[in-house]
Amino acid sequence: MQTNFTPAQLADPGTAASERAIRACVHCGFCTATCPSYLVLGDELDSPRGRIYLMRDMLENNKIPSAQTVRHIDRCLSCLACATTCPSGVNYRHLIDHARAYIEAKFRRPLADRALRATLAVILPRPALFRAALLLARPAKPLARMLPARLRPMLAMAPDRIPPPDSLGRPAIHPAIGPRRARVALLAGCAQSVLAPEINAAAIRLLTRLGIEVIIPPKAGCCGALTAHIGKDGQAFAATNIKAWRALAEAAPLDAILVTTSGCGSFIKDYAHLFATHPSLAADAAHIAALTQDITEFLGKMPLPDPAANFPGRGIRVAYHAACSLSHGQHVTEQPKKLLAAAGFTVLTPKDAHLCCGSAGTYNLLQPDIARDLRTRKLASITPLDPDVIASGNIGCLTQLASGTDLPTCHTVQLLDWSLGGPSPFGEHGR
């Protein structure tokens, strides 16, 4: 795609990277076949190709974005299915992130929208505030119709039961059982630690049983993805994590930084880009990004013991939902399914495995109608498989899918932990 940025504009590294991404687009339209928002809305401007035109016009002319441009860019899920499909290698991820930051700086949103986004940016990354907000949301649910329309999706997504914190998820050193095979850090995270603390607990049990020392450092928390996804600054959270993990690695070498939330893993693996122009953190950010792995990526490289012959979960039908942030963001596609199959589960793959479920960070709160449509489509492809459980590697996807089905949902690592001696994810009474 032809561009006309000035030399002065291209002196800015972010603009220069966006210009390269725009120029790589050849208008082929392959992206429209896999774009969830285009599938739902059928509007060219709600496809990656259409948004690239809008972003070029906005950035090239240094415009104050119009409400129409903002609306179409807001509707992008950042699922990156387009990037997987693109034959030209357009770096859509960094382009859309740059556009969102530009909009955040230049466009004045309506008051209600500003308030909602500011509230999400403050509450979601901070577990104590998030837990308090969920506790307040439960008694407010019957009053949902009396509240502003923008707040109703938040109430609808709030769980009826909030699990107590799991002691395994607190900052600590969890020694390997038996001879130590590796030393890893585990991301404590933010929203997942409140919604499903059992996920990291399962990861710690499984890893230590396999001879892995697991460390959760006291100062590492939110990765910054949730705030960055809505155009706000995620660097402060990211910098805190980088410093915490750097201190840990200086004490003794780390074999990996493991993540059980694929949305976080995708963002942390991009820390090198996020801090490319920050001399004091650039090298450490790149090192952290290189160390980071999804937990199934790490486990897929290890020889795992076979489950017991009398393992009660053997043969359970698992519909595996490939989170976009894992498959498109990190290109981890086969490892989770292979691990589940080796553990004795019957793995089922929906026919539209590439399609986003509509969670996408805060998307289901900011664009609830489109998110609901995508959830319906995803569940319509899962239900005919007649699964016993839906598994995924991202808490956002699990929460989104659970809100539309009675089928149990759980993280892949919970099933793997169960197969090697951990508790059933379905409770003591079975599935």
What was the pLDDT predicted at 236? 92
Is residue 174 helix, strand or coil?
strand
Going along the chain from its start, the domains and CATH numbers come out as 7-106 (1.10.1060.10), 116-157 (no CATH), 167-299 (3.40.50), 317-419 (3.40.50)
Contacts of 42 (CB under 8 A, 6+ apart): none
- What confidence tens digit (pLDDT) does each residue in 207-266 have? 999 999 999 998 899 999 999 888 888 899 999 999 999 999 999 999 999 999 999 999
Low-confidence ranges of the chain (pLDDT < 70): 428-431
Residues 90, 35 contacting (CB under 8 angstroms): no
Instruction: For residues 99 and 113, give the distance between their C-alpha atoms in angstroms, rounded to a whole number.
Output: 18
Instruction: For residues 299 and 212, give the distance between their C-alpha atoms in angstroms, rounded to a whole number.
Output: 11
Mean pLDDT of the chain, nearest integer = 93
Look-up: residue for tokens 């919970």?
414
Backbone angles phi, psi at 86, to 5 degrees: -60, 120
pTM of the prediction? 0.94
Instruction: For residues 366 and 68, give the distance between their C-alpha atoms in angstroms, rounded to a whole number.
Output: 16
Please state, in angstroms and as integers, the Cα–Cα distance from residue 385 to each residue in 346, 381, 388, following that order. 11, 8, 9
What was the pLDDT predicted at 429? 38
Give all strands (DSSP E) within 263-381, no chain letters: 292-294, 317-320, 346-348
Look-up: residue for tokens 């990656």?
48
- Rounded to the nearest angstrom, the gap between the alpha carbon of residue 58 and the centroid of all alpha carbons in its chain is 27
Residues 164, 360 contacting (CB under 8 angstroms): no
Calculate the CA dihedral of residues 256, 261, 266, 267 and round it to 10 degrees. -100
What was the pLDDT predicted at 5? 95
Contacts of 59 (CB under 8 A, 6+ apart): 5, 9, 15, 18, 19, 98, 99, 102
- CB-count exposure of residue 357 (10 Å: 0-12, 13-18, 19+): buried
Residues 304, 376 contacting (CB under 8 angstroms): no
What was the pLDDT predicted at 428? 52
